[in-house]
Amino acid sequence: MQPSAPRYEERLTAPRSWWAITALMGVAGGLVLLPLGPLPMLGGLILATAVAGVVVSSYGSVRIRVVAGSLVAGDARIPLTALGDAEVLDAQEARAWRSFKADARAFMLLRSYVPTALRIEVTDPDDPTPYVYLSTRNPKALAAALGEVRAA
């Protein structure tokens, strides 16, 4: 495998129910403009559906990748040399680290619709971030990819 090829890649897509809500937002936009006539109603339906679709799509387009000696999570690019041990979190532990165990200084890429997560210790002494919390559907595979790249 090439060094620049991703060892792990995941896209945290929004759940299907959110797309149903997008359709309902479109219907609501149309109903709001219904008293103005059929053409404004159609415009409201299309516009509200489009706006809600863009919001859901952008929120659900975040990626997590392990590539070229770095962990790329959303907009953050963290060198693997700055990361320590990774802890796989089941749904209950992930919920705890999202709430009462959370540290305000931590980097958290979380999506409430993804129940499991990976918590990775930050070992860089110049970085005040204590850990990285990543919502992921497959935390074991992500931890394995991090370990594999570190060992190489």
Tell me the per-residue pLDDT of 49-64, one tens digit each, with 9 for 90 and over.
999 999 999 888 899 9
My answer on whether 32 and 73 are in the same domain is no
Please indicate, yes or no, if residue 125 is contained in any of the structural domains: yes
- Kindly state whether residues 70 and 143 are assigned to the same domain: yes
pLDDT band at 138 (very low <50, low <70, confident <90, very high): very high
Indicate whether 151 pLDDT > 80: no
Residues 70 and 140 in one domain: yes
Same domain, 68 and 143: yes
pLDDT surpassing 90 at residue 85: yes
Residues 69 and 34 both lie in one domain: no
Contact partners, residue 89, CB within 8 Å, separation at least 6: 97, 116, 117, 118, 119, 139
Report pTM: 0.82
Strand order in the sheet with 76-79: 8-12, 62-67, 70-73, 76-79
Task: Please check whether residue 2 lies inside any domain of the structure.
Answer: no
Per-residue pLDDT of 111-126, as tens digits, reads 988 999 999 999 999 9
